[in-house]
Amino acid sequence: MFVTGDLIILALQLHDTLKAEGISAQVVSVPTLKPLPPQEIIRHAQSTRAAITLEDHNIIGGLGSAVAEIYAEYLQKPVKRIGIPDTFTESDDCDVLRAAYGLSLDAATKCVRELLGEVRVQRTPSSEFIQLIFE
């Protein structure tokens, strides 16, 4: 999983939840979006089958878009972006807004399970687990 900002806390919780379910995961903290050298993303992604991005802003034009572009061009592997959809949002407490837009442990875990199901369908059935990207 690739993550920016204070969502690293959620990413680490998600890592532990997945580990308890027997899913190997790595958390990759991305401190800046520009520049974002493709070789750094590729280096972390080579031994994985898919990636999740976590960002607390619009998923278009941010970390998720950058990672998806690199995955599409160099790796041809799926990427699931978890963040705010391209819509106007309301004002509220940060935790309330994150829960409303799927930036909670339960919602992120569900997204990972769905992605793993999709990847398993696309990949060989002999795979027993899928390693994701996280730091």
Give the C-alpha separation, 40 to 48, whole Å.
14
In a domain, 30, yes or no: yes
| CA distances (Å), origin 134, targets 14, 33, 58, 84, 91 | 10, 16, 20, 19, 29
Name the nearest CA neighbour of 31 among 5, 8, 49: 5
Determine the Cα–Cα distance for residues 112 and 63; give it in Å rounded to an integer: 17
- ∠ CA 108-42-7, rounded to 5°: 30
Supply the CATH number for residue 89's domain: 3.40.50.920
pLDDT in tens, the chain (135 residues): 999 999 999 999 999 999 999 988 999 999 888 888 899 999 999 888 899 999 988 899 999 999 999 999 999 899 999 998 888 888 898 888 888 888 899 999 999 889 888 776 544 433 333 344 443
What pTM was estimated for this model as a whole? Answer: 0.80
6 assigned to some structural domain: yes
Q: Print the domain residue range for 98.
A: 2-122
